[in-house]
Amino acid sequence: MLCAANVQEAQDFALISHIATLKSRVPFIHFFDGFRTSHEINKIVPLADDTILDLMPQAEIDAHRARALNPEHPVIRGTSANPDTYFQSREATNPWYDAVYDQVEQAMMISLPRQVVSISRLNITGIRKRERVIILMGSAIGTCEEVVDELLTRGEKVGVLKVRLYRPFSAKHLLQALPGSVRSVAVLDRTKEPGAQAEPLYLDVMTALAEAFNNGERETLPRVIGGRYGLSSKEFGPDCVLAVFAELNAAKPKARFTVGIYDDVTNLSLPLPENTLPNSAKLEALFYGLGSDGSVSATKNNIKIIGNSTPWYAQGYFVYDSKKAGGLTVSHLRVSEQPIRSAYLISQADFVGCHQLQFIDKYQMAERLKPGGIFLLNTPYSGR
């Protein structure tokens, strides 16, 4: 299971997963966050068809096709297995899965020179002597990286460990990436397992650390806490990351928590601090429209023109409900000189456009405008 964190990785990992599955002969699932990544428009470095052709292992492709069911060379598959041999045959697959991690690494290494984005199976952002680390996978990685980069300039000893290859999970590489200086770890899962002791990624990390401690590979164990975030595309912004790092600094942090919501029932949520981080985007704009009025299509075209026709990096994300027409739509557009990692909604925009006059009485749009920003109202009235 290979997890892409952004639009660029969604393209790159699609190729990598194909190369890895052909070489390892193990099925792969290449996945990424629904809607936050799948419906985001972002400028990427595209892979040319000739490049893909050069990177694909033709010998493995031919071998894969030769293993297809064919009446010219029949084989028996899928027969029932009895208790006398089934267990042994299942365990005999272990070497194939043990080799997957290295196969993925090789696929990434041959793809890496072609791309400007650094990719690896599992790596960490931050300084060498980190004390507080967040471990997660998916689109929230970009948000965490933004916060970590800023906190490092303030002297904070923080980091984010990004999990790309989730299955098979390699405890060895996790321990190599996690410095011994780390004293507290927060593992974030974008899922909820009702009735379970904790969420899947947390259990994997905790098991790896506990086994390393029991085997004498680690002298001490860091404090590990687990949190849930982002269910059903719930917003996960820089303030959520700051809240997690603040919880890691607490004398008695919550062993299990949620972030991004206010939980007054089970009291698991973390209080969100004010986001005081500087904005990296050159321009941020919001466009309010009505479902089926053309606002989303127009803003999509605009951001594509900027991304394709200028050297600027452009990002577009569009919020609307499940109704086909008549609902509120909000388009979030960013333009920057650097690649945009902000996988969260715009809270304070340089430009706010309202395409529907009736929204003036329904929504507080001006509250999301920066001081000195521009508000554009589409109205049938003249300026006189």
- Burial of residue 363 (number of CB atoms within 10 Å: 0-12, 13-18, 19+): middle
253: its two tokens: 């942090």
Q: Are 284 and 349 in contact (CB under 8 A)?
A: yes
What are the chain's domains? 2-67+94-114 (no CATH), 122-258 (3.40.50.920), 283-377 (3.40.920.10)
What integer pLDDT is reported at residue 323 of this predicted model? 79
Pairwise CA distance, residues 196 & 251, whole Å: 26
What integer pLDDT is reported at residue 109 of this predicted model? 84
- pLDDT of the chain, 384 residues: tens digit per residue: 999 999 999 999 999 999 999 999 999 999 999 999 999 999 999 988 999 999 999 999 999 999 999 999 998 887 888 999 999 999 999 999 999 999 998 888 887 655 534 445 555 565 567 899 999 999 999 999 999 999 999 999 999 999 999 999 999 999 998 988 999 999 999 999 999 999 999 999 999 999 999 999 999 999 999 999 999 999 999 999 999 999 999 999 999 999 999 999 999 999 999 877 887 788 999 999 999 899 999 999 999 999 999 999 999 999 998 877 888 999 999 999 999 999 999 999 999 999 999 999 999 999 999 999 999 999 988 866
The residues, any chain, with a CB within 8 Å of residue 308's CB and separated by 6 or more, are none
- Burial of residue 367 (number of CB atoms within 10 Å: 0-12, 13-18, 19+): exposed
- Burial of residue 349 (number of CB atoms within 10 Å: 0-12, 13-18, 19+): buried
